[in-house]
Structure 1
Amino acid sequence: MDVATGAAGCGPAPVSYGFYQDGYGGALAADAFAEALPAALRCVGALTGVRDVRDEWDEGDADAWRRAVCAAADAFAEYGEGRVGGFSIGSFSVTNYRDEGTTGSEVAREAALAELAGTGLCFAGVR
């Protein structure tokens, strides 16, 4: 599966699974990537003001934008969109604490911003 589909299967997604694996070096399975992709696109869209690569961008900016989506997808796949924490069932416990009070959305935002650093793509004005 090289090309994930967009919302409700309506055409190709802005970041393909092939780019996620080869360009970004991601390790999620195709279905996990596809499941996390909508939240990642919302996250990066909020940071940049766009939800797809723009024709006027050079290849470096386009790749940085795609890598930001991939980084956010990894975070959402690991933490979800809610609060980052852990749980216990009997003697079995799972923890994925990062910081107290942190949400998966905040972790994804930080990961995406790290990929966008130095590009000028982060939205900082009025639309």
Structure 2
Amino acid sequence: MDGATGAAGRGPAPVSYGFYLDGYGGALSAEAFAEALPAAVRCVGALTGARDAREEWDEDQAGAWRRAVCAAADAFAEYGEGRVGGFSVGSFSVTNYRDEGTTGSEVAREAALAELAGTGLAFAGVR
């Protein structure tokens, strides 16, 4: 699935599944990665102003941008975009709390920012 396409099959995905596995070391299935990718790209796009690695970036910056998308995809795959919490079915319960009131989007943002640290890519001003 290295040549995965983006939303509705329109062009190549900004981060390939091959990079996710080999360049980032991710463990999601191809389907789970593809499902989380649009939210991850939106998240990193909001942080950097870019929805794809830019040609003017050096390889370190482009790699950091791709790793940030992968980190956000992992978070979205685990927590979704809503509130981080748990669920119960009968006597079985699962809890994946981090902080009360935290959302999956906040967890993804933190993960992406950790990958972008030191690159100068994270937007820090007023638009």
Aligned counterparts of 1:4 and 1:72: Cα–Cα separation in 2: 18
Distance 1:26 1:89 in 2: 29
Query: Cα offset for 1:123?
Result: 1.1
- The amino acid that maps onto 1:12 is P
Structure 2 partner of 1:10: 10
Match for residue 86 of structure 1?
Answer: 86
Q: Between the two proteins, what is the percent identity of the paired residues?
A: 89
Partner secondary structure for residue 87 of structure 1: strand
Q: Specify the alignment match of 2:36 in structure 1.
A: 36
**Structure 2, gaps ≥5 residues long:** none
Runs of at least 5 residues in structure 1 that lack an aligned partner in the other structure: none
> What's the C-alpha RMSD, in Å, of the aligned pairs?
0.8
Deviation at 1:125?
A: 2.6
User: Corresponding residue for 2:63?
Assistant: 63
User: What residue number does 1:47 align with?
Assistant: 47
The amino acid of 1:124's aligned partner reads A
1:25-73 per-position Cα deviation (integer Å, ceiling 9, x unaligned): 0000000000000000000000000100111100000000000000000
Farther off after superposition, 2-11 or 101-110 = 2-11
Structure 1 Cα separation of the partners of residues 70 and 124 of structure 2: 22
TM-score normalised over the length of structure 2: 0.97
